[in-house]
Amino acid sequence: MPRLEIDINKIKHNAKILKELFAAKGISVTAVIKGVTGSSEIANAILECGITTIAVSLVQNIKKMKAFGVKANFLLTRLPTHSEVPDVVKYADISLNSEISTIKLLSEHAVKQGKRHKVVLMLELGDLREGILPEDLDAVIEQIIPLKGIELYGLGVNFACFGGIRPSEKSMTELSQTVDRIQGKYDIKLQMVSGGNSANYEWFLQQDKFGNINNLRIGEAILLGRETLSRNKIPHLYIDAFTLICEVIESKLKPSLPYGEICQNALGETPAFTDVGNINRVILGIGEQDVDTKAITPRINAKVIGASSDHLILHSKTHLEPGSEIKFDINYSALLRLSTSPYVKKVFI
Ligand SMILES: *Cc1c(COP(=O)(O)O)cnc(C)c1O
């Protein structure tokens, strides 16, 4: 079985460094661990660093962590579907929202459950995933204020997730000024002003004033030690907390160029190859079903040349024996799929 080795101390180290870095400027870190399906072990390690809010995208994973005994403030990053609203109220302390119909439903269920659910409204500032357009914000807030089951807890923005848009000084200033304006106009206090995610790292380094921004929701930087605009390593963080280990199931000297008539492969692509003569072709027992094979890099002198649903093909400089194990570095999209797959064993070290 392929396995994912998880060095929990490295993740904890990353969380601690980032927490201290941001805290020095009055910015709290919400640790986003949707990349590891809300692993309770990882959540607990992060909580030991003094981070108090854990975020995931699926309410099932909050339920799972609570059943495991994880004690945290839980934030749901993905907008709730209407059908999951009862569970969101039951398990999540805070959810990100942009639709008034959903927020009204959250309020109804919160009242039923004898709770006030905290809502962070998402504001659209250009990345064009979730968010209320700035011109519509006041109307939404006016409908939220009378809702008995809702505490309007904050305002948030998100960048570099869908559109790949950089969080700029201009957009951060707009967020901060919007908070001033809303707090003044409605005489309310927004507790959480959440400026973004791991993509905000560079912006953070370049500023010394952050206005009202007092929170970032950080996932990839904690787990993989990188900022996410250019995937540069963040100083003093580990980028190798996760290691994928797979086993060689075939290893032969074979041509580099497939022969016969070229049609589509298993994934519907028509691949092109260059002829570099005979090479060490190594097949490993993992494929597209369990990992994004374009998002892994072997730690030996070898290159991934392709994959099908359950086979990964390497071009290795040296001969490798069947049964031997190969280690890989992984990036975020590989981590997502590996974490989610029941066919990949998770081993905490
Ligand atoms: C995934 C997500 C995050 C975390 O993003 P990273 O790039 O992993 O830091 C933050 N906010 C929202 C809304 C998200 O969906």
pTM of the model as a whole: 0.96
pLDDT in tens, 20-74: 999 999 999 999 999 999 999 999 999 999 999 999 999 999 999 999 999 999 9
Integer Cα distance of 86 and 91 in angstroms: 9
Please identify which residue in the block is written with the tokens 């579907």: 81
- Supply the pLDDT for residue 279: 97
- The dihedral over CA atoms of 278, 280, 286, 289, expressed in degrees to the nearest 10, equals -20
More confident residue, 2 or 161: 2
Q: What is the pLDDT of residue 86?
A: 98
Beta strand residue intervals within the chain, DSSP E: 3-6, 28-32, 53-56, 73-76, 94-97, 117-122, 150-156, 192-194, 215-218, 242-255, 278-284, 296-298, 302-307, 312-316, 325-330, 345-348
Whether 234 lines ligand 1, by a CB cut-off of 6 Å, is: no
228 confidence band (pLDDT: 50, 70, 90): very high
Please give the mean pLDDT across all residues of the chain: 97
Taking CA atoms only, the protein residue closest to ligand 1 atom 15 is 77
pLDDT of residue 315: 97
* Rounded distance from Cα 30 to ligand 1 centre (Å): 10
- CA-nearest of 302, 328, 329 to 315 is 302
Cα distance between the two ends of the chain:
17
Widest Cα–Cα separation across the chain = 74
Rounded distance, CA 321 to CA 340, Å? 29
Residues 151 and 118: beta-carbon distance below 8 Å: yes
Distance 198 CA to ligand 1 centre (A): 7
* Residue range 236-261: mean pLDDT, rounded: 97
Of the residues 19, 61, 77, which should be mutated to test ligand 1's pocket, given the most ligand atoms within 8 Å of the CB? Answer: 77
Classified by CATH at the fold level, domain 242-348 comes out as Elongation Factor Tu (Ef-tu); domain 3 (2.40.30)
Residue 170 catalytic? no
Give me ligand 1 centre to Cα 225, in Å.
14
Q: If you average pLDDT over residues 164-173, what whole number do you get?
A: 94
8-224, what's its fold? TIM Barrel (3.20.20)
User: Which pLDDT score is estimated for 270?
Assistant: 86
pLDDT at 69 (0 to 100): 98
- pLDDT for 68-84, tens place per residue? 999 999 999 999 999 99
d(CA 304, CA 314): 5
> CB–CB of 347/245 below 8 Å?
no
Best mutation site among 32, 42, 229 for ligand 1, i.e. most ligand atoms within 8 A of its Cβ? Answer: 32
The β-bridge partners of 167 are: none
Residue nearest (by alpha carbon) to ligand 1 atom 14? 77
Instruction: Write out the two tokens for 146.
Output: 């009378």
d(CA 287, CA 295): 12
Task: Determine if ligand 1 sits within 6 Å of the CB of residue 31.
Answer: no
The tokens of 293 are what?
Answer: 């094979």
CA of 26 to the centre of ligand 1 (A): 20
Domain ranges of the chain: 8-224, 242-348
Q: List, for residues 265-320, the tens digit of each pLDDT value.
A: 888 888 888 999 999 999 999 999 999 999 999 999 999 999 999 999 999 999 99
Among residues 34, 66, 104, 115, the one annotated as catalytic is 34
Q: Tell me if 46 sits within 8 A of 36, measured CB to CB.
A: no
The answer to whether 308 touches 266, Cβ cutoff 8 Å, is yes
Residue 35 C-alpha to ligand 1 middle, in angstroms? 9
- Note the pLDDT of residue 269: 86
Strands (E), 81-228: 94-97, 117-122, 150-156, 192-194, 215-218
pLDDT at 1 > cutoff 90: no
Ligand 1 pocket member 196 (CB < 6 A):
no
pLDDT at residue number 268:
87
Ligand 1 atom closest to Cα of 32?
A: 4
Share of the chain above pLDDT 70, in %: 100
**Residue among 204, 217, 220, 335 whose CB has most ligand 1 atoms within 8 A, to mutate:** 217
At position 7, the amino acid (one-letter code) is D
Residue 109 has pLDDT above 90, yes or no: yes
- Ligand 1: atom nearest CA of 218 is 9
Measure 55 CA to ligand 1 centroid, in angstroms: 9
**Ligand 1 atom nearest 197 alpha carbon:** 9
State residue 271's pLDDT score. 83
- State the amino acid at position 342 in one-letter form: P
> Phi, psi (5° rounding) for residue 269?
-100, 155
Amino acid sitting at position 40: S
